[in-house]
Structure 1
Amino acid sequence: MTYRQRLSLIAFIDSAIVLTAIFFSSFLVNADLHVITIPVVIYSVTLLLGHHLFSYLYKLYKKSWEYASIGELLIIFKVITFTIIMTAAVQLIISQNIYFRLLATTWMLHMLLIGGSRFTWRMFRDLYMKKDDNKKRTLIIGAGSAGAMIARQLLNNHHAELLPVAFIDDDVKKHHLDILGIPVFGGVEHIETTVKELSIENVVIAIPSLSKKELNVIFQECAKTKVKTQILPMIEDLATGKVSVNQFRDVQVEDLLGRDPVELNMDSISDYVTNKVVLVTGAGGSIGSEICRQLAKFNPATLILLGHGENSIYTIEIELKDLYKNTAIEFITEIADLQDEMKMAAVMSTYHPHVVYHAAAHKHVPLMERNPEEAVKNNVIGTMNAAKAASQNDVESFVMISTDKAVNPTSVMGSTKRIAEMIIQYMDQTSKTKFVAVRFGNVLGSRGSVIPRFKKQIEMGGPVTVTHPDMIRYFMTIPEASRLVIQAGAFARGGEIFVLDMGEPVKIVDLAKNLIKLSGNTVEDIGIEFTGIRPGEKLFEELFKDNEVEEQHVYPKIYIGKTTNISIEEIETVISTYPILDREKLREELLAIANHNVATKKLVSMSV
């Protein structure tokens, strides 16, 4: 049915209802207007015209009654009330009298018939035109506005795969009530029993204000049921129209971090990045590529993507050019090795970047234990080459990405990253460029992180391998880590090591269990196998040493380190002698320097 046909049909039905209401009311009240006279015709025409006039003004005929609610009922009330008032005014003018009983009865019949016609059609459509045979019986967790909105959408969408049959909500005032005809069975503790009693096939979590800890509690209850659990899309995605309300997403491990993501002040970055030349080393990596994505939002004049792997650099280049093809951002790629001092100097002198984000590094702990010389080449010498080239070409700010493994390091990777921090701090003492480092924990989903490995093991049927049942780590998401790095650059005064307060650490075995449950399996089916701590690993990581950071935040959840004395000559010595040292001796030297267990010849006071 076209819009014109629909409009004509509704207008015709409403006209019949209005005339029926006025004449039937006249008989009910036994008024003098029970026969057709000129005043009766005038009042009827007035009522009819008034109804259509106010229906047009309040757009009554444009409402979709499949989704009718209190708002539509209020519009009907306004249309009918103003129509009656208009008719009363005409009566007063013509007859010098207002038939209050007649108008009151007409108003009630008008409301009953107009409202009833709309909601009767909706009830008929909902009860007799729905085909629910193939729909999955769904439990909605959260009986608030979001949950009700989801239920309404699913009930009215005949193509939806889900059929809401029950709510769960911790608000005791809602327990045993019906919302949209759907009962609220109880609180979170009733999830398992409700799923069993009602043969639930799908669970949807619909509480936008839910904290990470609360979500974790709910998910653990849902995991007991072995039923697929999904979650409401992000509110910003709903608001922008990127997804619809019934496009639920699976719960992800990032949702179960146990803390809310740190929100950084992106506005302070605009002046720092917009219309500037920015260079990112390691731009093809997990963190480096996300830094590029975040930076591009601020419209730098030029974004230089530097990396050693041509495939990864090509991938991020194509992605950014497609996303920002309608902007003036110039994307430049440079395939370069950090160990090539001349190439790094040439890149810096060619483009003269205002800001450098140094994300390139070797980060695999066991691999670097077996290849310490490669860790020195990339993490130490590579950082020194990039830092010197930046200093010589008057780069404004140089931000290096570090790791929590640089604190009290027990591995080659951690030691070389700590030494890279020392180089950055030393360079800040001798250069006009502001050199800073950013230190954070493990990044969920990055290359080499446990998440991709766990997922592959689950896909293969298990078991999932965990090194030790007590091993814990700090975790954050890739976007969060990247924003922290960018934010640090905006805060940089020179020489700082910024440390993110990452909340409570997470047990790796708990992370594995959650991933298994998220995949729709059970821990018993997949299994978890403990393989033992690998060389260089610690049971727990630290973000900073005792008394190492200032008590006050430079920004919510971001700390700055205090000063300590560091040897630069020992660093230069290990750089010049590493090729002739055997691997075990080189490892000992690196750990000694990083942990300050050396007889220093030259000490420089630096932050952290």
Structure 2
Amino acid sequence: MEVQNGLYRFEMIEYIKNLTFAQKQAVLVLVDILLLPIALFSAILVQFGWSALAEHVWRVAPMLALVAVVAAALSILLRIPNTRLVAYDYGGVQKTGVFAALVALTAGVLGGFQGLDLGWGTYVVFGLVFFLASVFARFAMLQFLLLVYQRDTSRCRVLIYGAGTTGLQLAHALRAHDVIVPVAFADDNAVLQGQRIAGLPVLKPSRVPSFAAERGVDRVLLAMPSLSLPKQTQIARRLEETGLEVQALPSFAQLIGEEALVEKFAPVLPGQLLGRAQVGDSWPAEDSEYSGRTILVSGAGGSIGSELCRQVLAGKPAKLVLYELSELALYTINAELGGLARDAGTEIVPILGSVTDARLARKVLNEHEVDIVLHAAAYKHVPLVEANALSGLANNVLGTSTLARASLEAGVKRFILVSSDKAVRPTNVMGPSKRLAELVVQDLAARSDGTIFAMVRFGNVLGSSGSVIPLFQEQIARGGPVTLTHPDVKRYFMTVQEAVRLVLRASSFAKGGEVFVLDMGQPVQIAKLARQMVEGAGYSVRDRENPDGDIEVVITGLRPGEKLNEELLIGEGHLTTAHEKIFAAREVKLSEIEVASALRTLREAVATADEKAALSVVGRWVEGWSGEGDVVAPDTQHPA
């Protein structure tokens, strides 16, 4: 029996769906005509009672037939049947009122000609009853169709989250949709909960999962475009955790093109977050340093390396060698620089490989007769290097040693190492890996007569891959929370343009063995940076003072090896240079024998995958690191 009912319901739905527009118009006209005798006999009954009803039925029959013809003509003329049931609103009701008045007037005129003597009161009642019956019939047919459609199991049943104007408009728009049927609202407004709006119940948000399971809800539509994106994201995430599919509805302004359909998040310009004036915008390009020469950039596809390539190209070198381990990064930077290189008359040479490959390094340096090496290749992400100490030390220390020694043997004029402030009294593995790389370069600088070796040390680069800004941007775009390791963490910051300009300028200053550092002003508090980014994106921070804010900032605790404050210098003093914002430090270095011993032990540790032995090299030779991730006072260190 259930199968038969289902088949009958399916056939009914298909029959209704297959009706043409003209057929649907004819049905509405027919319904109005059938309502005419009901309305007229009801008026006679009201005016004359049951005893006179039978007498008047036969007398009014000829007049009623003429009224039906006129009513059909008026209905078509007024386009009454052209209004779809789902769109039958206040305007449709007004048109029905005009139609009913004209029909009553026609009945009165025809009744007068036939001498029926029913009185004008009867025709007024007739018009009112006909009007009410016609309006009620349309709403009844709409409810019947909705009931039939809702029982169609093939339709997508949706719950609308948000019972405001947008939600109400959406419910009306979906009323007679062929595929989607709204079954309920949900809203955070306690005043609306428990009411029925547009014939649908308004639920508490906490009831949505159970209601969805009971009623077979397939999807939740977020109809709250005025709500901030983070809050929408938080609601969507909470609903998705219950297994529901969630989709957000754009605002009406977006749908008609008054608002661009883009994320609300607006990127913050890195220079706005420095807390100081940018350095280097007015620095002249040292064209003579690079013009007509062959430049090799290791790590050419990284944040620093790619910007090095762009700025070096401005000096119109004869050849630019892109040395990169990542195939994707190499492809990307090679494709980007193609047009710029043609304009500069520069040959681009992409080299796919690791700086730890001594044979490849020697082959590239000699074959292309490289003049200047800008060594930016490094594993720099602190947590990843902390978790992969052997790989970090091998790439950052042994890779630097391999490329630097190959540069010395090939007669390269200058070798510039890009280092980090984390090399100063480090508390994580990445820091000492960079400090050991510096010690290797310092040792070669002391023993080199031809090649000039120097290092550039700077703080965090705003916007570089893995840095705090892209992380905060991603977290804000997801609706938060923004994660902060400690409220008191401070860092030195510079833009990638500043960092690269520093490297290029240091290359011209270098005499051999210097560590160049940029005057970076005061360190920036990361908590303040997080708040700036949230507010710069158009949102507010949710905290105790503002519990209704958009984005929450969550303290997660310091990561292994993370310091509250970074330093730029190991020693106390520094030297000025030709530029007032750049200074140099001649720091204590290891002897040739000590460097050779450290490298030999580290190579053996890497070859045997002995992480403990590798870290013992760090603990022995890097000032400020105990081998356990703790800061050690300088006077307790092994003498360097």
Q: Same fold (TM over 0.5)?
A: yes
1:499 aligns with 2:517: yes
Give 1:390's match in structure 2, choosing from 386, 407, 412: 407
1:299 aligns with 2:316: yes
**Within-5 A mapping of 1:275-314:** 275-314=292-331
Residue 476 of structure 1: CA displacement? 0.5
SS at match of 2:342: coil
Tell me the equivalent position of 1:474: 492
SS at match of 1:255: helix
Q: Tell me which moved more, 316-325 or 518-527.
A: 316-325
1:556 aligns with 2:580: yes
Q: Using the alignment, how far apart are the partners of 1:554 and 1:578 within structure 2?
A: 42
Identity %: 41
CA separation of 1:258 and 1:568: change in aligned 2, threshold 3 A: same
Residue 490 of structure 1: CA displacement? 1.1
Tell me the equivalent position of 2:622: 594
**Within-5 A mapping of 1:228-243:** none
1:412 aligns with 2:412: no
Whether the 8 Å contact between 1:425 and 1:495 is mirrored in structure 2 is yes
Whether the 8 Å contact between 1:409 and 1:591 is mirrored in structure 2 is no
**Within-5 A mapping of 1:385-464:** 385-431=402-448, 432-464=450-482
> What is the TM-score normalised by the length of structure 1?
0.55
Tell me the equivalent position of 2:530: 512
Q: Using the alignment, how far apart are the partners of 2:609 and 2:350 within structure 1?
A: 36
Whether the 8 Å contact between 1:570 and 1:593 is mirrored in structure 2 is no
CA separation of 1:387 and 1:250: change in aligned 2, threshold 3 A: closer
1:574 aligns with 2:605: no
Residue 594 of structure 1: CA displacement? 1.3
Letter in 2 for 1:529: V
Q: Using the alignment, how far apart are the partners of 1:251 and 1:563 within structure 2?
A: 37
Tell me the equivalent position of 1:98: none
Tell me the equivalent position of 2:560: 535
Q: Using the alignment, how far apart are the partners of 1:424 and 1:451 within structure 2?
A: 31
Q: Using the alignment, how far apart are the partners of 1:596 and 1:342 within structure 2?
A: 35
Q: Using the alignment, how far apart are the partners of 2:313 and 2:300 within structure 1?
A: 13
Q: Using the alignment, how far apart are the partners of 2:587 and 2:355 within structure 1?
A: 28
SS at match of 2:474: helix
**Within-5 A mapping of 1:157-172:** none
Q: Using the alignment, how far apart are the partners of 1:323 and 1:294 within structure 2?
A: 11
Tell me the equivalent position of 1:78: none
Whether the 8 Å contact between 1:283 and 1:292 is mirrored in structure 2 is yes
Q: Using the alignment, how far apart are the partners of 2:624 and 2:473 within structure 1?
A: 39
CA separation of 1:266 and 1:274: change in aligned 2, threshold 3 A: farther
The C-alpha deviation readout for 1:58-88, integer Å capped at 9, x for no partner, is xxxxxxxxxxxxxxxxxxxxxxxxxxxxxxx
SS at match of 2:512: coil
Residue 546 of structure 1: CA displacement? 4.4
Q: Using the alignment, how far apart are the partners of 1:548 and 1:362 within structure 2?
A: 29
Residue 320 of structure 1: CA displacement? 1.3
Q: Using the alignment, how far apart are the partners of 1:328 and 1:471 within structure 2?
A: 46
Residue 327 of structure 1: CA displacement? 3.1
CA separation of 1:433 and 1:369: change in aligned 2, threshold 3 A: same
Whether the 8 Å contact between 2:516 and 2:582 is mirrored in structure 1 is yes
The C-alpha deviation readout for 1:490-515, integer Å capped at 9, x for no partner, is 11111111011110000111111111
Q: Using the alignment, how far apart are the partners of 2:434 and 2:583 within structure 1?
A: 19
Where in structure 2 are there 5+ consecutive unaligned residues?
A: 1-265, 543-549, 627-639
**Within-5 A mapping of 1:218-237:** none
SS at match of 1:401: strand
Whether the 8 Å contact between 1:253 and 1:514 is mirrored in structure 2 is no
Tell me the equivalent position of 1:322: 339
Q: Using the alignment, how far apart are the partners of 2:455 and 2:538 within structure 1?
A: 40
CA separation of 1:591 and 1:366: change in aligned 2, threshold 3 A: farther
Q: Using the alignment, how far apart are the partners of 2:493 and 2:288 within structure 1?
A: 30
Q: CA RMSD in A?
A: 1.9
Q: Using the alignment, how far apart are the partners of 1:563 and 1:526 within structure 2?
A: 44
Q: Using the alignment, how far apart are the partners of 2:370 and 2:281 within structure 1?
A: 24
Q: Using the alignment, how far apart are the partners of 2:361 and 2:596 within structure 1?
A: 23
Tell me the equivalent position of 1:547: 572
Residue 584 of structure 1: CA displacement? 4.2
Whether the 8 Å contact between 2:268 and 2:533 is mirrored in structure 1 is no
Whether the 8 Å contact between 2:376 and 2:418 is mirrored in structure 1 is yes
Give 2:352's match in structure 1, choosing from 335, 350, 356: 335
Whether the 8 Å contact between 1:264 and 1:487 is mirrored in structure 2 is no
CA separation of 1:481 and 1:320: change in aligned 2, threshold 3 A: same
> What is the TM-score normalised by the length of structure 2?
0.53
Whether the 8 Å contact between 1:284 and 1:309 is mirrored in structure 2 is yes
The C-alpha deviation readout for 1:73-114, integer Å capped at 9, x for no partner, is xxxxxxxxxxxxxxxxxxxxxxxxxxxxxxxxxxxxxxxxxx
CA separation of 1:274 and 1:342: change in aligned 2, threshold 3 A: same
Whether the 8 Å contact between 2:618 and 2:625 is mirrored in structure 1 is no
Whether the 8 Å contact between 1:412 and 1:591 is mirrored in structure 2 is no
Tell me the equivalent position of 1:9: none
Structure with higher Rg: it is: 2
Residue 547 of structure 1: CA displacement? 1.0
Q: Using the alignment, how far apart are the partners of 2:297 and 2:317 within structure 1?
A: 12
Residue 377 of structure 1: CA displacement? 1.2
Tell me the equivalent position of 2:362: 345
Q: Using the alignment, how far apart are the partners of 2:316 and 2:283 within structure 1?
A: 13
Q: Using the alignment, how far apart are the partners of 1:327 and 1:581 within structure 2?
A: 46
The C-alpha deviation readout for 1:398-438, integer Å capped at 9, x for no partner, is 00100000001111100010000011111112222100000
